[in-house]
Amino acid sequence: MSSTTAEPGAPAAPGRFPREIPIQYGMAALVVVLVAAPLVPILYQSFLTGALYDRDAQLTLGNFARLAQTEGFGTVLWNTFLLAALSTVVAQFFGTAAAILFGRTDLPGARVLGELFLWPIYLSALVLSFGWYSIYGPAGYVTLFWQSMFGEAPWNLYSIGGMAVIAGVSQAPLAYLYCLSSAGMTDPTLEEAARVSGSGTFRTLWRITLPLMMPAIAYSAVLNFTIGLELLSVPLIFGEPAGVTVLTTFLYNISATSPRPDHGLVATAAALMLVVIVFLVWLQGRLLGNTRRFVTLGGKATRPRPFRLGGLRWPFFAICVAYVVATGVAPVSMLVLRAFTSFLSPMIPLADVLTLENFEILWREPVYLRSITNSFIVSLVGAAGATALIGMIALIVHRSEFRFRNALHYTALFPRAIPGVVAGIGFFYAFALLPGLGGIRNSIWILVIAFTMRFIPTGLGAVAPMLLQVSPDLDRAARVQGADWWTTTRRIMAPLMRPALVACYTILFISFFKEYSTAIFLFAPGSEVIGTALLQTWVQGEVGVVAGLAAIQVVVIAVCITTARAIFGVKLHG
Amino acid sequence: MADLKIEGLVKRFGEVRAVDDVSIHVADGEFVTLLGPSGCGKSTTLAAVAGLDRPDEGRITVGGKVYFDGTRGTYLPPESRGCGLVFQSYALWPHMTVADNVAFPLTLRKVKAAERKRRIAEVLALVEMEPYADRYPHMLSGGQQQRVALARTLVYQPSILLLDEPLSNLDAKLRDRARTWLAELRTRLGLTTIYVTHDQIEALSLSDRIVVMNSGRIAQLGTPQDIYERPADPFVADFIGTTNFLPAKVAGVAGGVATLELADGQRVEMAAERPPEAGARVTLAFRPEQMRVAAAGEGSGPEGSVIATRVLSKSYVGGRWQVALDLGGGPLRLEAETPPSGDEVRLWLPRSGCILFKGVTDVAA
Ligand SMILES: Nc1ncnc2c1ncn2[C@@H]1O[C@H](COP(=O)(O)OP(=O)(O)OP(=O)(O)O)[C@@H](O)[C@H]1O
Ligand SMILES: [Mg+2]
């Protein structure tokens, strides 16, 4: 070809300064600081005689002995284990049954029922608990109705059993999703073989489908057990009044609500919890390695022929409808209804109690209005920052030659093993320890930082699979043509990742918006969010206001999900 | 423009030596093809030259500039090399139009807008894609995408051009057309080029020289004629064109002619430059088109030998017949214009032109 300005054969970047070096090391350092920030102070404090900021504090091992000797600590551990185990059983039972019924049979309306079954995943367990309270609580709608008809109601939410059912129901969607993607659901050949050889529907289900689902059931069981251990809302609302304490509420009681917290004890209990969860997350990793082999990826497999339920079709349908109504639809609806009434009882006509007073209070009291605005700021702005960070992490981990990319990946996924309460306590210490950060400590930005750390793994989970679908040839082509890593990232990868980033932002927005467990250790007057306001108001017994706040949270999340699905086609789970 | 020197290149993936001691010198303006079966290390070699994968050992220089030197630890990142690489997948950026795709490397080189426009038009005209400048890649056919990918690479006048199976995604017809077009373009531009393919027709018709690779190593390096007519080993003979292999034993050697005894005891005579000693086991290799059905009553003579074979099957492949034969347990393939009649066929094999490989080979298909 003819004349040019650039010399033929000249590279675009002849020995330019490698910009990727400071960017990649900078990002890695940021992630390490974020993840280490809550952990280091907790671990350090657990070996100190006094408070972390106390100059006279000595190193000691005594905290562990003191914790072990704390009165009732054994019961706390036993309750914790029992609640986690029972809620896992409940979650696995309903999740597996739902996966088979909605995924593999000719149940009428299976698709819609499947959607409704997922509801609890989008709501915080806190809101779900309030919903259950308003229906099945001592003064709940159904409880009162039952009492007027048959006398004493046979259920009691204020017990380990009652809590396990609420927690189990809110975790069942996870088991459901994992089972749906298991080989038992998607590989028709083995099943067809069994049927051809004359095996009946239930026999095939029992002997073929269910065993093929075992890896998925096992993995989600460990996941749910972990979540059960970390759970704060349900034991806080139903356990505390009944005197049933678990590890999370124990931590809450001795730190956030205690006037003179024993920091050594708090940190030691948090460290103990951390160690247990780290082990469980490690176990999840091991199990997942095994599950992968059973999971058919990418939906390549054709959907197998559904099982015929025959005469049991409609009875099963009735049971499923009853389940989704009783566990999700009714509690949420009742909560929303409660927001618009002054009192709710089957004995009083609805028209007499309808009111907007709850919302007037929300509007009038600065603390509520502030918590709502704060929630929006934290979620809108925080999720944007977190999405940018997560996008960069994903690109460095999956699309760069960064020397420590594996270590970075590991670090970025580590927050999975940090429970919300531990993160909350840890960041509290971290900010108390470092001078000059006082401004952040009493603002919503401490929440943004803590939430970001907490949800890095969640965001990566949304971004990484989509990023891996972008052919590496596309960025390699840009590199060969003379774009360095940073230019390639901005000009080629960022636009190609847009759907992944939108999905990530949506998921983070929802996660930030409903987060409370980290926040209750970190908020200060002025930096309340909906989650913390909910808990505080609940303690004050303002049920109507709680319902109003919860309704706002539910509606915002619903709008967010619907928009994301309609406009961007975002898939929010699976 | 520049020459390319690859010396002692080694690339390992764990235990596997994907590229194992490869040395190639491509002269300025030369067109060299890497040819070999799937997984033999062609793409890995190309990626090493482009800078996409860091090799483990060896040295790569282009026009005297060191791209990689294993002993000194020199390694230029891809963006500092100025190579042009066309991917097998084309790798057009889906979020940019054809014109934007082609503009990208120019923007990186800070070429002024007017100049950029001119060069984009020029290169799109070269690949006959001017009318499609405003389309997005997904609106183009495979052949058109391939041209855009080439244009995007040519537009910045790379020091060397690397093409990784650029035609493999096209259907047979389009492939033929694209090959002719590529051959024309190649004479017009005269770029130093490494072309990767596992299609021998592409390799033979386009290349100045061919490098045949086998499990990471160079099996043979030579001109198309060299490779086709004088394959260095049974692998190359088998990979390029169809080759018949017959195991044999040297029965005697006299005056540059070796008498071979085939598995079933029949004898053929072969001219051999450096004949192996009597008693040695050898493999006789020849192309189907080198032999013909012997005329009735024709016998062995100084020009060639006649051997008797049994017909296993025959199939019509359009214009000619492919006949599978059996010679003392070994398979043979014959192409003939008329199908053989009867179960027996007598073949005439020329004394010169066949190749003798030492030892017994199991390449035969
Ligand atoms: N990233 C990698 N990790 C591990 N092994 C690899 C990797 N890339 C290539 N290999 C291995 O290196 C060998 C050479 O691969 P290469 O892609 O160079 O083959 P190829 O000659 O281009 O084959 P094809 O014609 O199929 O494209 C193969 O055995 C391959 O499995
Ligand atoms: Mg290849």
Token pair of B37, please? 């079966």
Q: Is residue B55 part of a domain?
A: yes
Residue with tokens 């900078």: A26
Report the topology of domain A71-137+154-294+307-328. Answer: MetI-like fold (1.10.3720)
Q: How far lies B124's CA from each of A198, A479, A492, B95, B183, in Å?
A: 64, 22, 22, 19, 17
ipTM of the complex in this document: 0.82
Give yes or no: residues B75 and B136 share one domain. yes
Residue A327 scores a pLDDT above 50: yes
Q: What's the CA gap between A354 and A340, in Å, rounded?
A: 6
Residue B185, Cβ density class (10 Å: 0-12 exposed, 13-18 middle, ≥19 buried):
middle
Atom of ligand 1 nearest to the CA of B19: 14
Q: Which residues of A90-100 are buried (b: 16+ CB within 10 A; e: fewer)?
A: bbbebbbbbbb
A12 to chain B: which residues are within 8 Å by CB? 79, 82, 105, 108-109, 156
Q: Do A16 and B78 touch (CB under 8 A)?
A: no
Q: What's the CA gap between B325 and B337, in Å, rounded?
A: 16
Domain A19-39+356-574: homologous superfamily in CATH: MetI-like (1.10.3720.10)
If one residue of B11, B17, B19, B42 were mutated to test the ligand 1 pocket, choosing by the most ligand atoms within 8 A of its CB, it would be B42
Give yes or no: residues B85 and B178 share one domain. yes
Q: What's the CA gap between B84 and A38, in Å, rounded?
A: 49
Average pLDDT value over all residues in chain B: 88
**Ligand 1 binding pocket includes B197 (Cβ within 6 Å):** no
Our measurement of the distance from residue B62's CA atom to the centroid of its chain's CA atoms, rounded to an integer in Å, reads 23
Q: Do A12 and B78 touch (CB under 8 A)?
A: no
Alpha helices in A46-182 (DSSP H): 62-69, 73-104, 110-117, 119-122, 125-136, 141-150, 160-180
DSSP type of residue A342 = S
**Ligand 1 binding pocket includes B192 (Cβ within 6 Å):** no
Q: What is the pLDDT of residue A35?
A: 95
Segment B51-79 shows an average pLDDT of 92
Task: State the ligand closest to the CA atom of B47.
Answer: 1
Q: What's the CA gap between B178 and A549, in Å, rounded?
A: 67
Q: What's the CA gap between A538 and A237, in Å, rounded?
A: 8
A137 residue type, one letter: G
Q: How many CB pairs under 8 A join A and B?
A: 114
Residue A15, Cβ density class (10 Å: 0-12 exposed, 13-18 middle, ≥19 buried):
exposed
Residue of A nearest to B164 (CA): A473
**Ligand 1 binding pocket includes B44 (Cβ within 6 Å):** yes
| CATH code for the domain in which residue B286 is found | 2.40.50.140
Task: State the ligand closest to the CA atom of B36.
Answer: 1
Query: What percent of chain A clears pLDDT 70, i.e. is strictly above it?
Result: 90
Q: Cβ distance A362 to A537 under 8 Å?
A: no
pLDDT tens-place string over residues B107-150 = 999 999 999 999 999 999 988 899 999 999 999 988 899 899 99
Question: Strands B304-316 and B321-327: what pairing?
Answer: antiparallel
Q: Do B104 and A478 touch (CB under 8 A)?
A: yes
DSSP type of residue A59 = B
Task: State the ligand closest to the CA atom of B197.
Answer: 1
Give the residue extent of every domain in chain A.
19-39+356-574, 71-137+154-294+307-328
Helices and strands counted in chain A (H then E): 30, 0
Q: Give B41 Cα–ligand 2 centroid separation in angstroms.
A: 7
Give yes or no: residues B178 and B44 share one domain. yes
A547 residue type, one letter: A
Which region holds residue B256: left if phi is over 0, alpha if psi is between -120 and 50, else beta?
left
Q: Residues lining ligand 2 (ion), CB within 5 A?
A: B 43
Question: Strands B193-197 and B31-35: what pairing?
Answer: parallel
Segment A85-96 shows an average pLDDT of 95
* Type and span of the H or E element at B25: strand B16-26
The sign of the torsion formed by the CA atoms of B281, B286, B288, B291 equals: negative
Residue with tokens 């100084």: B302
Give yes or no: residues B290 and B189 share one domain. no
Residue B285, Cβ density class (10 Å: 0-12 exposed, 13-18 middle, ≥19 buried):
buried
- Determine the 3-state secondary structure of A165 from DSSP: helix
Q: Which residues of A121-150 are buried (b: 16+ CB within 10 A; e: fewer)?
A: bbbbbbbbbbbbbbbbbeebbbbbebeeee
Give yes or no: residues B287 and B189 share one domain. no
The sign of the torsion formed by the CA atoms of B133, B134, B139, B145 equals: positive
- Determine the 3-state secondary structure of A556 from DSSP: helix
What are φ and ψ of residue A157, in 5° steps? -65, -25
A477 to chain B: which residues are within 8 Å by CB? 85, 87, 91, 93, 152
**Ligand 1 binding pocket includes B198 (Cβ within 6 Å):** yes
For residue A153, the tally of other CB atoms under 10 A from its CB is 15
A11/A210: higher pLDDT? A210
Q: Is residue B274 part of a domain?
A: no
Give yes or no: residues B113 and B55 share one domain. yes
Alpha helices in B63-141 (DSSP H): 98-108, 113-126
Q: What's the CA gap between A49 and B289, in Å, rounded?
A: 93
Average pLDDT value over all residues in chain A: 85
Residue A77 scores a pLDDT above 80: yes
Residue of B nearest to A399 (CA): B52
Residue A59 scores a pLDDT above 60: yes
DSSP for A314-329, please give it. HHHHHHHHHHHIIIII
Q: Is residue B36 part of a domain?
A: yes
Q: Give B48 Cα–ligand 2 centroid separation in angstroms.
A: 12
Give yes or no: residues B113 and B32 share one domain. yes
Radius of gyration of chain A measured on its C-alpha atoms:
26
B75 to chain A: which residues are within 8 Å by CB? none
- Domain-terminating residue out of B185, B218, B238: B238
Q: What is the pLDDT of residue A562?
A: 87
pLDDT tens-place string over residues B220-267 = 999 999 998 888 888 998 888 888 888 888 888 887 888 888 888 888
Q: What's the CA gap between A452 and A220, in Å, rounded?
A: 24
A526 residue type, one letter: G
Residue A304 scores a pLDDT above 70: no
Give which of B83, B108, B159 to mutate to test A binding, by max A Cβ within 10 Å: B108
The sign of the torsion formed by the CA atoms of A415, A420, A422, A428 equals: positive
Give yes or no: residues B168 and B222 share one domain. yes
Residue A298 scores a pLDDT above 60: no
Give yes or no: residues B175 and B297 share one domain. no
pLDDT tens-place string over residues A334-390 = 899 989 988 777 777 877 788 888 898 889 989 999 999 999 999 999 999 999 999
- Domain-terminating residue out of B238, B264, B299: B238
Can A19-39+356-574 and A71-137+154-294+307-328 be said to share one CATH topology? yes
Chain B positions contacting chain A at CB under 8 Å are 1-2, 50-52, 54, 63, 77-85, 87-89, 91, 93-95, 104-105, 108-112, 115, 119, 122-123, 126, 152-154, 156-159, 189
The sign of the torsion formed by the CA atoms of A202, A208, A209, A213 equals: positive
Radius of gyration of chain B measured on its C-alpha atoms:
25
**Ligand 1 binding pocket includes B200 (Cβ within 6 Å):** no
DSSP type of residue A198 = T
Residue of B nearest to A10 (CA): B82
Range of the domain at B94: 4-238
Q: What is the pLDDT of residue A294?
A: 42
Give which of A480, A488, A491 to mutate to test B binding, by max B Cβ within 10 Å: A480
**Ligand 1 binding pocket includes B41 (Cβ within 6 Å):** yes
Q: Cβ distance B327 to B265 under 8 Å?
A: no
Count how many residues are written for chain A: 574
Q: Do A483 and B89 touch (CB under 8 A)?
A: no
Considering A199-203, A302-306, B320-324, the range whose residues carry the highest mean pLDDT is B320-324
A14 to chain B: which residues are within 8 Å by CB? 80
Which residues have a Cβ under 8 Å from the Cβ of B52 and sit 6 or more positions away?
Answer: A476, A479, A480, B78, B85
> Max CA-CA distance within chain A?
96
Segment A138-167 shows an average pLDDT of 88
Considering only CA atoms, which residue is closest to atom 12 of ligand 1?
B18
Q: How confident is the model at residue A13 (pLDDT cuts 50, 70, 90)?
A: low
Q: How confident is the model at residue A5 (pLDDT cuts 50, 70, 90)?
A: very low
Q: Is residue B260 part of a domain?
A: no
Angle at B23 between CA B17 and CA B27, to 5 degrees: 145
Q: What is the pLDDT of residue B364?
A: 42
Residue of A nearest to B63 (CA): A9
Considering only CA atoms, which residue is closest to atom 5 of ligand 1?
B13
Q: What is the pLDDT of residue B263?
A: 83
pLDDT tens-place string over residues A525-571 = 888 999 999 988 988 888 889 999 999 999 999 999 888 888 776 66
Q: Do B159 and A8 touch (CB under 8 A)?
A: yes
Chain A positions contacting chain B at CB under 8 Å are 1-2, 4-6, 8-16, 18, 401, 471, 473-474, 476-484, 487, 491-492, 495-496
Considering A104-118, A406-420, A421-435, the range whose residues carry the highest mean pLDDT is A406-420
Give yes or no: residues B61 and B129 share one domain. yes
**Ligand 1 binding pocket includes B266 (Cβ within 6 Å):** no
B51 to chain A: which residues are within 8 Å by CB? 479-480
Q: Is residue B269 part of a domain?
A: no
Q: Do B122 and A1 touch (CB under 8 A)?
A: yes
Which residue among B104, B112, B157 sits closest to A8, beta carbon to beta carbon?
A: B157
Q: What's the CA gap between A572 and A562, in Å, rounded?
A: 11
Q: How many domains does chain B have?
A: 2
Residue B100, Cβ density class (10 Å: 0-12 exposed, 13-18 middle, ≥19 buried):
middle
| CATH code for the domain in which residue B131 is found | 3.40.50.300
Q: Is residue B144 part of a domain?
A: yes
